[in-house]
Amino acid sequence: MKPITRQDILAHQSAVSWAEPYQVEQDLLLCQAMVALFDDDFLSSQIAMRGGTLLHKVQLAPAARYSEDIDLVVVGPRPADHIRLAIRRVLADVLGAPKKSVWDTLVLTIRNTIQPSSILRMTYSMASIIEPSRTLGIVVEANVTERIPHRAVIAIPFSFPFRGKNVQTRLKGFEIHEMLGTKMRALFQRKRGRDLFDLYWALTQSPTPIKPEEVLASFQHYLSLEGTEARREELVSILDTHLKDREFCSDTEGLLRADISYDPQLAGGYIKSHLLKLLSK
């Protein structure tokens, strides 16, 4: 894929709604990286995408929230190091060589911290074209532990305009109810307000209706993999604590489209009444 130019970035502004020019530039790089990953025959048979970038740029497009990373899960049988080498190879033309490439462990559980996931984290860093004094950063993560999704991975069309043409591919990604089940897990596993926004926005704005009971089924599937369960009262308490935290409530500042008005307290109440209330205990 050809290196992007200032003119490419200015043209991409018609496709996205981010306030800052560097965000438009980084969005274009993300688009190119997503196509590169899933146009590769080997990788497309081994990985699936989940996370905020998939949710907003593909499943709930046009994106309501800006994101700056690519969250992958290895769903094929090939060894983890083969995946690492392939990701590095296909992204070289788009993002260059990663500034840092490490194996890490990440606790993705709510309570049971003895089963961390093994994560490949590649951090890419490049000078901005549109704002030369700024350094852009894109993180690509691949979970090599959670290889068996709750639901079948699906193929999802993805495209973006570039130099008068429509660049397109078919991503492999989590079905949206499982996607939101993992978002629900993240909401209670860490303290980032964007997880609350993502759940709320999907439940209220998805072009295809979301079934809350199916979101809960996937959420509880991941709890069962921990060998644990979370009671409604406990989850409400965690969410209430989050909503009292100023950093949590301001996490989405500068990340949302200018036309979106968002109230974390209202969103929290919605999640309690439309998701947590459905838990049997």
Angle at 170 between CA 130 and CA 43, to 5 degrees: 85
Cα dihedral 66, 67, 68, 69, rounded to 10, equals: -170
Instruction: Report d(CA 210, CA 195) in Å as an integer.
Output: 16
Whole-model pTM: value is 0.92
- What residue has token string 């919605």? 270
Is the pLDDT at 107 greater than 90, yes or no? Answer: no
pLDDT mean over 44-67:
97
pLDDT, mean over the chain: 93
- What residue has token string 């992204």? 91
pLDDT value of residue 228: 78
Q: Quick one: 6-174 is in which CATH superfamily?
A: JHP933, nucleotidyltransferase-like core domain (3.10.450.620)
Strand partners, 174: none
Contact (Cβ atoms closer than 8 angstroms) between residue 36 and residue 58: no
Return the structure tokens found at 216.
Answer: 């809960």
- pLDDT tens, 196-219? 999 999 999 999 999 999 999 999
pLDDT value of residue 113: 52
Contact (Cβ atoms closer than 8 angstroms) between residue 160 and residue 31: yes
Domain ranges of the chain: 6-174, 177-278
Instruction: Report d(CA 171, CA 18) in Å as an integer.
Output: 23
Sheet holding 135-143, edge to edge: 100-106, 117-127, 135-143, 69-74, 47-50, 165-173, 154-162
